[in-house]
Amino acid sequence: MIKKFSAEFIGTFWLVLGGCGSAVLAATFPGVGIGFVGVSMAFGLTVLTIVYALGHISGAHLNPAVSVGLWMSGRFNAKELLPYIIAQVLGGIAAAAVLYVIVTGNGSEIGSFAANGYGDHSPGGYSLLAALVCEVVMTFMFLLIIIGATDERAPKGFAGLAIGLALTLIHLISIPVTNTSVNPARSISQAIFVGDWALSQLWLFILAPLVGAALAGIVYKLVFQKN
């Protein structure tokens, strides 16, 4: 369990550092900013690399919603659910702390710090309802892909590629709406450092991904699971 806890901690640390770090440090860098596309690719690459590096140890969930979805599908032990979620949240917070030190190293303020938001804090000004629907649906599709790609009937060795590309596509769609969560650990880590509005809106980015993941787990189990 210590190996699994450590793998989830480090994996989520890498996800938040790579994904949110690219958003905060490189997205709008003068002249060579990577923009939405670059940030989307960064999130996908963090998952792709960790799935192949540590997936054989913990499954590389890196996300409480993934753990919940796999549990709902019958593919994950309930006894490991809480330890995984704790490791993921702590890994995300540790990455946000490192990112905070880096961002403020030249005297800059952290600004929105890639936190998730809706309404006035949505990159595109999208409403609470739009953000809620977006996060539920995106997480639902993400979990369907994860569960399907790791099914014993799926082609072997390609799960990491499918999952990483799925997360990239999800970000390409939803960064303008919510800055893309689909991961409560990622949302919690950034909101803690921003405080204020980010904490007041955090409930949506915990609830919606968990609901979407749970629905995906149920649907896969009832419709697609091998009898």
Domain range for 25 is: 2-224
What's the pLDDT tens digit per position in 179-188? 999 999 999 9
DSSP 8-state secondary structure symbol assigned to residue 68: H
What's the pLDDT tens digit per position in 133-155? 999 999 999 999 999 999 999 99
For tokens 């809620």, the residue is: 132
- Could you give the CA distance from residue 20 to residue 34 in angstroms, rounded to a whole number? 13
DSSP 8-state secondary structure symbol assigned to residue 155: P
Tokens read off for 207 = 């609830």
What's the pLDDT tens digit per position in 20-75? 999 999 988 988 999 999 999 999 999 999 999 999 999 999 999 999 999 999 99
Count of structural domains within the chain: 1
Number of neighbours of residue 190 by Cβ within 10 angstroms: 29
What's the pLDDT tens digit per position in 201-214? 999 999 999 999 99
> Across all residues in the chain, what is the average pLDDT?
96
The pLDDT of residue 74 is: 92
Q: Which CATH number belongs to the domain containing residue 49 in this structure? A: 1.20.1080.10
- Could you give the CA distance from residue 142 to residue 216 in angstroms, rounded to a whole number? 9
